[in-house]
Structure 1
Amino acid sequence: MSTHVDDAASPNGTAFRAAVPYPVDPAGAGTVTGMAELVRTGALAAREVVDAALARIAELDPELGAFVHVDEDGARERAREIDAMVARGVDPGPLAGVPLGVKELHAVAGWPYAMGSALHADRIAGHTSTLVARAVAAGAIPVGLTASPEFGRASFTASALHGVTRNPWNPALTPGGSSGGSAAAVAAGMVPVATGTDGAGSLRIPASYCGLVGFKGTYGRVPRGPYHRGTAENDHYGVLTRTVRDTARFLDCVCGSDEYDRSSLPAPAEPFETALAGVDLRGLRVAWTPDLGNAPCDPEVAAVVQAAAEAFVAATGARRVPAEVDLEAACGAAFRTLSVPDVHAELRAAPPDRLHAVHATVRRYGDAAAALDADALVDAHETRARLVAALAAAFDRFDLLLTPATQVPAFPAEGPMPTEIAGRPVDHWGALAVTFPFNLSGHPAISVPAGTAGGAPVGLQIVGRRHEDVRVLAAAVAVEGLGLWPPPTPSR
């Protein structure tokens, strides 16, 4: 094993040593796949795994704020069930004994279901998300809920209900959002995997800032049932992990059509984990763009990620081709228009005298929803259609599109989101300009570690054609193999 450690000043003035369990050997117990195989064979008890996870949460979470609810009793009871199955010679499944963090936007029956909002501070979930239920059926052990900004509507993770979530590599900085609690939990080694959502980059941005893998599959790849609320059709479900193979293992356990989600796709004919080995990247046409034609990008981020993109092309035998992608500025307005009804769905039943408890950004969503008219909705859908057509034409010219996963280095943990990038003013959507277009279009996209910028990790985004998820994952495996991101180990 190798060790990569950064010391940073924590908010309380003490030294925080940011070290992440990430064994060089993928069979090690620090990965999802390695841990599950050890538990399945009886070489490692699930109760030991859970006890270690709970101990690390107790040690680190007071400083990081990754978890908003921990179910110690439930996790230990589930671990005992897994160990009993192994003792009887029954295979608990491909996620056997793996501690799982669950983003608080995902329901778990009997657990709090506040979604980061004081409006729902006392709400308890009456159902379990399909994503979580399938992971549990495959042997995973949910240990608690991870933090999200209110209703997932920011790219940093802070809320009046739960406070601020911090980046394990530098607690002064954000782990990103909205799946920032999940990213901080995985990056700090509290759990090896945690669920997330991606409506505008909320898996890829935290993955970028925390040195993780964050994959948004083709729209519908991971089912969103039951009872998913939303009309925008931008939301994608997924997980944050330390390796691409871990992500593939998890996908194989949770993907597949779900009668509760009309957009869900059938499971692929070949499991993702085994399909990765058969992908040949030689000769693929690969395009690089730092800005998708019109998005400002911090020069340091652009330089680090471009070097990773060039190393990927050289190492795989792919062919570099021009990107020639220039997405229209109207995409941001279209995304806003299509998204505001989703927030309205959460706010419309709230008593007027409670709306003061809602963050101003969320209230603005509600105000915008009240002002929507048919022309605005039609314009937004037509803009989306033009985006889909533009990307279809672009993917006739290349097979993979490479960009930065974030346009700026990690910013302060308390926020706000950037209002200026590379000297250019940006609005909310301008700070997400390299991620949200692929939510509108439904293309698969992944962030994989590319190096560091501004004192924290930064990721390379790889985008592929719709339904070519395996190729995107295989390209991310190739980036992992470049050694751009030292695999750190626990040393705190």
Structure 2
Amino acid sequence: MTEVLATQGRTVVETAALVRSGELTAVGMVTEALDRIERCDRMLGAFVHVDAEGALARASAVDRLVADGGDPGPMAGVPLGVKELHPVAGWPFAMGSTLYAGRTADHTCTLVTRAVRAGAVPIGVTASPEFGRASFTASTLHGVTRNPWNPALTPGGSSGGSAAAVAAGMVPIATGTDGAGSLRIPASYCGLVGFKPTYGLVPRGPRHAGAADNDHYGALTRTVRDTARFLDCVCGTDPFDRASLPAPPRFEDRLGADPGRLRVAFAENLGNAPCDPAVAEVVRTAAEKFLAATGAEAVPARLTVDPRCGAAYRTLSAPDVYSQLRDVPAGSDIHPTLRGYLEAATAVDADALADAHAMRAGLVATVAEAFERFSLLLLPATQVPAFPAEGPMPTEIAGTPVDHWGALAVTFPFNLTGQPAISVPAGTVAGVPVGLQIVGHRHSDALVLTAAAVVEEIIR
């Protein structure tokens, strides 16, 4: 199984421009998307539900508005995939779990509501592992999702269905979540842009019940400009999300801004797990090209993450998983990762919780002190090339055994700190993409996007 299904399709910006001008129709865009899904998705398993009738009806409404001289918005007629962790009223909402098979969402999340208000056309639900708790996309409920660059391999997770859908040209954009790398990892493996904004920038309402404050919302796209366009449509305070932040000035307008004199650090890893040498070489080369193109000053990273932060992350996140599973009958079939979270949750006491919060505070301080010496940190977005689609996650990297958190060592720390971090294509290893990760200070999202746009230009 080696057929390459990855393709270059229209971007969000291109699609919206064609629909807004009347040169092409939203119905035509949606029909193309549906045809592509029909041709490719039997092999890839990106979508778990497609609402063709609803999408065509919404697209027709967009076209009527254009015909009447109106402007549907900056995402006019853009077919949108929706990760199955994001509810859409009337659509299936199983969250990848047999425990919720047959459940239908009774509300639509703010993220999708705002994208629709900007003219986007939701077309269907993309696959996630159970509750989004794995870095490959497979579940008992939906089966295995595969990478369009090589269907024997994973597109990553947990936003793997969204990444496969965009990389295969089924849709130009699909929503995602990032709790420990779930936007950046699929972006890396599928040659896409995956941006985890500053925590709170993209609202998670309504009814998001997570207490760990690690989960960021975003999207998978083909270009940095598409990501900026999407953010400009969905950011802003939400009364249903206590952590939501005011919308900043438009990101798309600032992509070409001069970032000024930058101080940039590069690290192959954060000292808490190794990186595959082939991945490290590709990413280092991309980082060197960025430094040369921008004239940035290279400074040593000198940033080491305490390996115990992984256990702290699990302790902080375990109550969220427990809230979803506490009514599950004993012996139920759930993913082994979820079983580990559930066992951890039942073992959490006040001391363990206090220790986890202290570990997180220590990490925030360590990273903040490091960022006093540089503006941006460049490092791999994934530590290994894409692995088999069925899993499991890597248990060894560069000859060193790693646990679950060691396999996520370059991504999950920035969920604990809430900083903006993006994966942008850096090159390939064995014919499959790997990404360069760019991390910035909290609220330096515009700078991170600008830097990613530079990398995007020089790596083409």
TM-score by length of 2: 0.99
CA contact (8 A) 1:149 1:157 kept: yes
Residue type of the alignment partner of 1:34: E
Contact 2:4 2:151 in 1 (8 A): no
- 1:406 maps to a residue whose letter is T
Among candidates 268, 276, 281, match of residue 255 of structure 2: 276
* Counterparts of 1:155 and 1:105, CA distance in 2: 15
How does 1:85-484 map onto structure 2 within 5 Å? 85-268=65-248, 270-278=249-257, 280-352=258-330, 355-482=331-458, 484=459
Q: Distance in 2 between matches of 1:77 and 1:351?
A: 41
Report Cα offsets for 1:52-91 as digits up to 9, x if no partner: 0000000000000000000000000001000000011111
For 1:106 and 1:79, the matched residues in 2 are separated by 21
The answer to whether the Cα contact below 8 Å between 1:294 and 1:329 also exists between their aligned partners in 2 is yes
Deviations along 1:68-121, one digit per CA (max 9) or x if unpaired, are: 000000000001000000011111010000000000000000000000000000
1:69 maps to amino acid:
H
Q: Whole-Å Cα distance in 2 between the matches of residues 19 and 359 of structure 1?
A: 29
C-alpha deviations, 1:426-448, integer Å up to 9, x for none?
00010000000000000000000
Q: Which runs of 5+ in 2 are unaligned?
A: none
Partner SS for 1:339: helix
1:18 aligns to 2:5 (yes or no): yes
Q: Decide whether the 8 Å contact of 1:281 with 1:317 is kept in 2.
A: no
Contact 1:281 1:318 in 2 (8 A): no
| CA deviation map 1:392-434 (0-9, x unaligned) | 1111100000000000000000000000001100000100000
CA deviation vs aligned residue, 1:256-293 (integer Å, no higher than 9, x gap): 0000000001000x201001122x23420000000112
Measured after TM superposition, the shift of residue 370 of structure 1 is 0.6
Indicate conservation of the 8 Å contact 1:204/1:216, yes or no: yes
Q: Aligned partners of 1:405, 1:458: CA distance in 2, in Å?
A: 7
TM-score (norm 1): 0.92
- CA distance in structure 2 between the partners assigned to 1:250 and 1:275 by the alignment: 14
Code of the aligned partner of 1:394: A
Contact 2:318 2:342 (8 Å CA) reproduced: yes
Residue 17 of structure 1, CA deviation = 3.0
| Matches of 1:109 and 1:282, distance apart in 2 | 45
Distance in 2 of aligned mates of 1:60 and 1:81: 27
SS at structure 1 position matched to 2:30: helix
Mapped to 2, the partners of 1:169 and 1:226 lie a distance apart of 35
Alpha-carbon contact 2:84-2:93 (below 8 Å) kept: yes
SS of the residue 2:377 aligns to: strand
Shift of 1:314: 0.3
Matches of 2:73 and 2:65 in 1, distance apart?
10
Partners of 2:219 and 2:336 in 1: CA distance: 28
Q: Which amino acid aligns with 1:286?
A: V
CA distance in 2, matches of 1:437, 1:344: 22
Give yes or no for contact 1:114–1:121 (8 Å, CA) kept in 2: yes
Moved more, 110-119 or 454-463: 454-463
Q: Which moved more, 1:184-193 or 1:333-342?
A: 333-342
Aligned residue number for residue 25 of structure 1? none
Deviation at 1:367, TM superposition (A): 1.3
Q: Secondary structure at the match of 1:246?
A: helix
Identity value in percent: 70
Between the aligned partners of 1:294 and 1:383, the Cα distance in structure 2 is 14
CA distance in 2, matches of 1:406, 1:281: 26
Match of 1:54 in 2: 34
Which shifted more, 200-209 or 357-366?
Answer: 357-366
SS in 1 for 2:208: coil
Q: Is the 8 A contact 2:272 2:406 kept in 1?
A: no
Counterpart residue identity of residue 20, structure 1: T
Q: In the aligned structure 1, how far is the partner of 2:253 from the partner of 2:273? A: 36
Letter of the 2:306 counterpart = E
Partner of 1:69: 49
Kindly provide the amino acid, as one letter, of the partner of residue 362 in structure 1.
L
Q: Tell me, what secondary structure is at the counterpart of 1:397?
A: coil
Q: Is the contact made by 2:148 and 2:164 (CA closer than 8 Å) also made in structure 1?
A: yes
Distance 1:448 1:363 in 2: 33
How far apart in 1 are the matches of 2:399 and 2:4? 33
**Equivalent-residue separation in structure 1 for 2:395 and 2:15 (angstroms):** 42
Q: Distance in 2 between matches of 1:241 and 1:379?
A: 38
Match of 2:12 among 32, 41, 58: 32
Residue correspondences, number: 460
CA contact (8 A) 2:207 2:240 kept: yes
